[in-house]
Structures are given as C-alpha cells and as structure tokens.
C-alpha cells in the first residue's frame, strides 16, 4: 500500500428490493475488484438494502434479519479479501424512528469503522428516512477520505465543509435509477461532480445504480475536474482507478480558495477611491 495512493474500484449494478440478490452481487464485484488490484470497493446508495420509495414503497414487512445477515457476509468477505468497502445500505434506529440512508465504511479486517448518514434527504426521502447530522472521514494509505450520498451533490456547502476537514478524496454514492427515461440528472450530475472536484481540488469516486433507466453511469473524477473513467449505461460493471495524491493537477482556485472559504470574496485588497465607490459614474 503506497502512501498517498489508493486503488479504488467504483462499482455499479442494478440495485433492487431483494437483499439476498444485492448481497450476492456486491460480493461478486468485491472479488472482481480485488482481482483487478483494488484496495477499496465503492458501492451505490442503498446497494445492499434497496432504496425505500423506489425498490419498495414502505418499510412494512422489511426483512431486517436478512439485511443484518448479508451485511455480516460482506464484512467476512472484506476480511478474507483484505479490502475496504464503502457499502450503501439502510441503518435501522430504535423507538419507532425511521432508518438512516447510510454508507458503512468496512475496513480490511471486516470491522465497521465509520458510518455516514445522508444529511440532505429529499422531501420524499424524509417520509422514509431520518436525515443524518454529521460528516464522516476515514484515512486510507494516508489519504483523508469523505463520504456523501446522492442529493448531497446539490449543496456545494457540504463539499466545502469536507474541504475544511482536509479531505482529499470523496466517495459519493447515488441512486439515480429506475427513471422513466433521461432527466435533468442525466444532464447535470456529472458536470456537478466535475465542478465539485475542481473547485475543491478533490478526487471523487461517484457510483450510481444501473437499473433501467439509470440516469447516468458511474464516474471517477480527478481534482482538476477531468472524468478519468466512466462505466456504461445500464450495465453492471467495476472500474479501478488510482487516487494519487502525489501527482499535481491544475488547480485554478488554489491561490485564493482559503480566502473565499473565510468569507473574503475577492483576491486582492480594496482601494480607497471615489471613482471606485461611485458605481453609477462613467
């Protein structure tokens, strides 16, 4: 494991309501990721549990026992393969509270070492999920990584918050699938991710469920905003790319980013000049 470098497998498949099927597909892709030299396998939003509201209408009758058993099997596979797993799932709460929409971080020993709970839930999500209240980071090979889920991408402030935590790489899991056809997500999500990467100088592994109609295929984005790898529409797949923080990429905002984040919204110092102060003069 080289310091500052992570081999990441961005994985996509047709997430569905059958937890046992989802679990089998996840473990199969973990095996493939390992064979291709990955150290981290990254999966979509709700990859194991299925996505409430899309894969099933309510939590009534949900098989939480199966979900726990399949999670344990994935943990065992992670330990056997010696790899990290970013696992999209649902996390049950107590006292009648709705579950969280979560990303579990499973380490190469098979332990759950962190969990991110989706902070920005849509209004539809909030009928079925409880929103999260924290950011989550984990360090892999000396690289500080953050986690986000789907709708979070619409809020540049949350990416800025991770930048303040010195994140270098983001694992962002989506479920933009089972749509009726192309949508605004098809147009805007990948450019949004490129913008988040470039304005914050972050690597991003963004994985999306591929069930038809999947609005966009999973992508891997460099800190300069370049899409370095992409999977295919509506096809299960695994792509392995390297997060390499030892390499330098173009970073247009580097010189003044800290000023902007501190609320100083200019690159220089203002001048004392009447003609500057009068904004209606020629």
| Residues 94/97/103/106 CA torsion (nearest 10 deg) | 0
| Residues 72, 83: Cα–Cα separation, whole Å | 15
Q: Can you identify the CATH homologous superfamily of domain 5-249?
A: Carbon-nitrogen hydrolase (3.60.110.10)
SS3 per-residue string spanning 154-207 = HCHHHHHHHHHCCCCEEEEEECCCCCCCCCHHHHHHHHHHHHHHHHHCCEEEEE
| Residue boundaries of the structural domains of the chain | 5-249
Which residues have C-beta within 8 Å of that of residue 166, sequence separation ≥ 6? 144
Task: Give the pair of three-digit tokens for residue 258.
Answer: 């800290």
Alpha carbon of residue 150 to chain centroid: 7
Residues 118-155 have pLDDT tens digits of 999 999 999 999 999 999 999 999 999 999 999 999 99
Residues 65-104 have pLDDT tens digits of 999 999 999 999 999 999 999 999 999 999 889 999 999 9
């Amino acid at each position: 494991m080289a310091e500052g470098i992570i081999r990441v497998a961005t994985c996509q498949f047709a997430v569905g309501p059958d937890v046992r099927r989802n679990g089998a597909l996840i473990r199969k892709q973990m095996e493939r990721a390992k064979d291709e030299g990955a150290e981290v396998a990254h999966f979509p939003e709700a990859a194991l549990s299925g996505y409430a509201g899309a894969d099933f209408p309510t939590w009534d009758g949900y098989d939480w026992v199966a979900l726990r058993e399949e999670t344990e099997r994935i943990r065992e596979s992670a330990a056997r393969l010696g790899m990290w797993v970013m696992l999209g799932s649902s996390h049950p709460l107590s006292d009648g509270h709705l579950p969280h929409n979560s990303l579990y971080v499973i380490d190469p020993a098979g332990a759950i070492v962190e969990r991110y709970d989706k902070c920005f839930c849509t209004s539809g999500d909030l009928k079925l999920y409880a929103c999260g209240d924290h950011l989550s980071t984990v360090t892999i090979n000396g690289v500080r990584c953050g986690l986000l889920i789907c709708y979070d991408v619409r809020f540049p402030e949350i990416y800025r918050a991770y930048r303040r935590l010195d994140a270098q790489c983001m694992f962002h899991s989506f479920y933009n699938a089972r749509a009726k056809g192309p949508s605004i997500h098809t147009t805007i999500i990948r450019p949004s991710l490129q913008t988040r990467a470039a304005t914050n100088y972050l690597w991003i592994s963004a994985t999306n469920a591929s069930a038809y109609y999947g609005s966009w295929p999973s992508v891997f984005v460099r800190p300069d905003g370049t899409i370095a790898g992409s999977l295919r529409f509506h096809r299960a797949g695994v792509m392995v790319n390297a997060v390499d923080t030892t390499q330098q990429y173009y970073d247009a905002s580097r010189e003044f980013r800290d000023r902007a984040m501190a609320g100083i919204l200019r690159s220089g110092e203002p001048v004392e000049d009447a003609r500057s102060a009068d904004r209606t003069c020629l």
